[in-house]
Amino acid sequence: MSGEKLQRNTHQKTAILDYMKAHRDSHIRAEDIISDLQSQGETVGKATVYRFLKALESEGQIRRYTISDKIPACYQYVGDHPECREHCHLMCTRCGRLIHVENPIIKAFTKQTMDEDGFLIDESKTVFYGLCRECRETEAAVGKDEDL
Amino acid sequence: MSGEKLQRNTHQKTAILDYMKAHRDSHIRAEDIISDLQSQGETVGKATVYRFLKALESEGQIRRYTISDKIPACYQYVGDHPECREHCHLMCTRCGRLIHVENPIIKAFTKQTMDEDGFLIDESKTVFYGLCRECRETEAAVGKDEDL
DNA sequence: TTCGCTGCAAAAGTTTTGCATGCAG
DNA sequence: CTGCATGCAAAACTTTTGCAGCGAA
């Protein structure tokens, strides 16, 4: 639970984690990390990226998910501190933005679900999908469906 | 919006959709559908399965997601009728069981999120992850961590 | 009969692995 | 120094596509 998977602190790991943190409000693919870091002059191979991404995911620092058909897997930084996982997230299916929400209503729902269904919700894993304000406004203005 | 993508009704499509409905309480991979249907004597190729799965997903009848590192993509039937999407789901990360929940608390949360953040939640896409009663009991009894 | 659907196999992508070398501790 | 981590390239998978033939309407 308090796992230290980073047995050695390499500049590759630092670069990847920094990248994830810097892009915490958007969805990024493994490929993005690789090409962006490499064009920044960082030496990093895809094997390292995939390996470290997987390690971070099992530590709970990042989350892996699918937004659309076109993008099989993307990753997002969700926080390394326990309190960062005490809330749930809203993800915009249009722009990929991730919004953190801490809301007592969800706590009430979590409790009720446990009482009625015996189901223990892990809030940190919960993501509400929908459209953020900006995307709704854009969509309303354009009146179109262009997906990403 | 009222799409009829099934322009022709073939036994392959029927078999795939029936399979999805029959297994609506668990997570299944494309590969499972292919091998299970084929061992039932159904002639169905993987191209057809992937094509139809994608069509069903864009229609909203099934949902695609990732549970664990080991399983990149799994699919689940979530209903073809509009009212079926008026609720959200609890998914057990241990056994993959999907539980349907209709709860006024969530409606309140949806409304509040819209008022405060301008974020329009699509409830039908929402999944709460956690442990179902059975898996919690099993886990408590075994006191172990074996994942799926 | 028509033309959308299917299966096959090849192609395109994505992720993992083996192994020699590099570098953090 | 020691041995975990990295990069490369090949392997293993997953998903998509082209195309000829099938079969539902």
Write the pLDDT tens digit of every residue in B74-94: 888 887 665 555 667 787 877
Contact A126 B122 (CB under 8 A): no
- Is residue A1's pLDDT more than 60? no
Taking the C1' atom of every nucleotide in all shown strands and the CA of A7, the nearest one is: D4
Contact B131 A117 (CB under 8 A): no
Q: How far is CA A37 from CA A19, A24, A77, in A?
A: 8, 16, 16
**Interface membership of B6 toward A (CB under 8 Å):** no
Angle in degrees, CA A121, A124, A125, rounded to 5: 75
Alpha carbon distance A145, B82 (integer Å): 20
CB proximity list for B80: less than 8 A, separation 6 or greater: B59, B60, B61
Sign of the dihedral defined by the CA atoms of residues A60, A22, B72, B125, in that order: positive
The owner of tokens 């299916």 is: A93
Q: Is B134 exposed, middle or buried (0-12, 13-18, 19+ CB in 10 A)?
A: middle
Q: Looking at residue B71, what DSSP letter applies?
A: B
Could you tell me the pTM of the whole model?
A: 0.73
Distance between alpha carbon A52 and the CA centroid of its chain, in Å? 15
Structure tokens at A142: 């354009």
β-pairing verdict for B88-92 and B127-131: parallel
For the ranges A79-93, B3-17, B32-46, which has the lowest average pLDDT? A79-93
- Bridge-partner residues for A129, per DSSP? A91
Report, as an integer, the average pLDDT of B40-69.
87
Q: Which residues of A touch B92 (CB under 8 A)?
A: 119
| Residue in B93, B28, B96 with CA at minimum distance from that of residue B62 | B28
Structure tokens at B44: 């169905």
- Bridge-partner residues for B43, per DSSP? none
pLDDT for A114: 92
Distance between alpha carbon B44 and the CA centroid of its chain, in Å? 21
Q: What is the CA radius of gyration of chain B?
A: 17
Alpha carbon distance A103, B101 (integer Å): 19
Write the pLDDT tens digit of every residue in A133-146: 988 888 776 654 44
| Residue in B29, B35, B128 with CA at minimum distance from that of residue B73 | B29
Write the pLDDT tens digit of every residue in A50-109: 999 999 988 878 888 776 666 678 888 877 655 555 667 787 877 767 787 777 888 888
Instruction: Round and report the angstrom distance from CA (B50) to C1' (C4).
Output: 17
Asked whether the beta carbons of A125 and A106 are under 8 A apart, the reply is: no
Alpha carbon distance B55, B61 (integer Å): 9
Report, as an integer, the average pLDDT of A21-30.
85
Contact A117 B106 (CB under 8 A): no
Alpha carbon distance B100, B123 (integer Å): 12
Q: E-assigned strands of chain A?
A: 62-65, 74-77, 88-92, 98-101, 120-121, 127-131
Q: Looking at residue B108, what DSSP letter applies?
A: H
How many residues appear in chain A?
A: 148
pLDDT for A148: 36
